[in-house]
Chains A and B, each alone.
Chain A
Amino acid sequence: RKEVEQDPGPFNVPEGATVAFNCTYSNSASQSFFWYRQDCRKEPKLLMSVYSSGNEDGRFTAQLNRASQYISLLIRDSKLSDSATYLCVVNGNYGGSQGNLIFGKGTKLSVKP
């Protein structure tokens, strides 16, 4: 079983729609959680960290449920420029002083006019 699992999509939504991505992780000792965005043939870029209390950055809201080992990302009022692959990412060096990131396979979002 992969350590970080996501629905690969694609999610095809119209502009202005609200879309939600979900992710589960297998190791309960994981400490840090992120959503990255990756455009085709480009490097992953940090979208936002995910905190236990949930956090919001503009149109983006991230939630973490440690008990269920579940992470979500909600995008409101989708823009054409939101089209990308969204990667759920977990810090993999459990309890260590430096951590490598473990990526999910990503969920592809396509926002149409």
Chain B
Amino acid sequence: AAGVIQSPRHLIKEKRETATLKCYPIPRHDTVYWYQQGPGQDPQFLISFYEKMQSDKGSIPDRFSAQQFSDYHSELNMSSLELGDSALYFCASSPPGQFNYGYTFGSGTRLTVV
């Protein structure tokens, strides 16, 4: 079965650079969530989209932005990267009306800022 696809799997950037992470949800899933997990930390909710509109916002820094496109894939854009942005970034998706049944996560993008 198709899963949530994230790219790239690994990314190394320098401070103050920009990065774009991509997420392709499971087909027919209309809601996408982005999470950030720092070393030894629990996943922290950043932002979510439902039907291409932002539906909820968590602890996403102003330096980050995200959007969901017409094909439901989503991109997380990160600018002015800081060392503290080094983390695993997970994307998850859920099907229409089934957000209460738990989400499926992608394998994540490991971002290292040096």
Q: Which residues of A contact B (CB under 8 A)?
A: 31-32, 34, 36, 41-46, 49, 87, 89, 91-93, 96-106
Closest to A104 in B: B42
Closest beta carbon of chain A to B114's beta carbon, Å: 19
A105 B102 Cβ-Cβ under 8 A:
no
Majority-rule SS of A interface residues: loop
Q: Size of chain B's interface in residues, with CB distance under 8 A?
A: 27
B50 A49 Cβ-Cβ under 8 A:
no
Majority-rule SS of B interface residues: strand
**B107 interfacial by beta-carbon distance below 8 Å:** yes
**B72 interfacial by beta-carbon distance below 8 Å:** no
Q: Which residues of B contact A (CB under 8 A)?
A: 31, 33, 41-45, 48, 50, 55-56, 58, 88, 90, 92, 94, 99-108, 110
Chain A residues closer than 8 Å to B99, beta-carbon distance:
32, 91, 97-99
User: Of residues A43, A96, A101, A104, which shows the largest number of chain B Cβ atoms within 10 Å of its Cβ?
Assistant: A43
Closest beta carbon of chain B to A12's beta carbon, Å: 18
In-complex Cβ contact of B33 among A41, A49, A100 (8 A):
A100
Q: Tell me the bound Cα distance from A96 to B97 in angstroms.
A: 11
